[in-house]
């Protein structure tokens, strides 16, 4: 698809996008930004989030709080809906090539919190910026196990942001 434009966005398409992350009713103090940039061979993703909950080890038979599942979801819809189980309108993980969980295009590394701050950058060759514009980024309460189907058992959705073209 990109052979004549190797390493760049297709002509007329955006090469930068941003999602402004806002916490839902479970964690209203979460705020952050996720940047997407087309680079040769794929997309560079950068995230900075504040207000994340402090790590809590798993209780017997339960899940830990943190590190946090971090994904692109199918729909750019961050309506809260049910305050006890928010952001369901964002749909499931974005998975355009129907891969098993752990290999979805929307599966990102877990997000670690250090005193409420989470920052990381990574490269993915699974998509280009124009493909995620109009979708959403979600941060989950629990770590993603990268094997449970279909969503990795990453728990409740804490924060959401719609991915928009920049500028």
Q: CATH code at 119?
A: 2.60.40.200
pLDDT on residue 11: 47
pLDDT on residue 103: 82
Do 77 and 89 form a contact (C-beta atoms < 8 A)?
yes
Does 139 score more than 50 pLDDT?
Answer: yes
Q: Which of 1-15, 73-87, 102-116 has the lowest mean pLDDT?
A: 1-15
pLDDT on residue 166: 92
Go through 40-56 and write b for each residue having 16 or more CB atoms within 10 A of its CB, e for each that does not: eebbebebebbbbbeee
pLDDT on residue 152: 66
Average of per-residue pLDDT across 26-50: 97
- Using CA atoms, how far residue 73 sits from 10, 61, 76, 107, 112, in Å, is 23, 28, 8, 9, 19
Q: Is residue 23 part of a domain?
A: yes
Domain extent, residue 46, equals 16-165
Does 28 score more than 90 pLDDT?
Answer: yes
Q: Is residue 77 part of a domain?
A: yes
What DSSP string describes the chain? --GGGTTSPPTTS-SEEEEEEEE-TTSTT-EEEEEEEEETTEEEEEEEEE-PPPPBPPPTTS--B-SBPEEEESS------STTS--GGG-SB--TT-PPTTS-TTB---B--BTTBEEEEEEESS--HHHHTT-EEEEESS---S-STTTTT--SEEEEEEEEE--
pLDDT band at 145 (very low <50, low <70, confident <90, very high): confident
Q: Is residue 3 part of a domain?
A: no
* Number of domains forming the structure of the chain: 1
pLDDT on residue 10: 55
Q: Is residue 120 part of a domain?
A: yes
Q: Is residue 66 part of a domain?
A: yes
In this prediction the pTM is 0.89
Q: Is residue 136 part of a domain?
A: yes
Do 10 and 74 form a contact (C-beta atoms < 8 A)?
no
pLDDT band at 8 (very low <50, low <70, confident <90, very high): very low
């Amino acid at each position: 698809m990109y052979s004549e434009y190797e390493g760049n966005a297709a002509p007329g398409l955006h090469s930068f996008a941003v999602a402004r992350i806002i916490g839902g009713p479970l964690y209203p103090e979460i705020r952050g930004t996720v940047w997407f940039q087309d680079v040769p061979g794929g997309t560079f993703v950068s995230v900075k989030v504040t207000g994340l909950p402090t790590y809590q080890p798993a209780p017997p038979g339960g899940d830990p709080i943190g590190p946090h599942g971090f994904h692109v979801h199918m729909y750019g819809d961050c309506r809260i809906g049910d305050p006890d189980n928010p952001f369901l309108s964002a749909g499931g993980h974005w998975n355009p090539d129907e891969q098993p969980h752990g290999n979805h295009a929307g599966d990102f590394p877990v997000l670690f919190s250090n005193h409420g701050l989470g920052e990381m950058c990574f490269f993915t060759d699974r998509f280009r910026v124009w493909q995620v514009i109009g979708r959403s980024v979600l941060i989950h309460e629990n770590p993603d196990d990268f094997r449970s189907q279909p969503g990795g058992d990453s728990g409740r959705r804490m924060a959401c942001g719609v991915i928009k073209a920049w500028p």
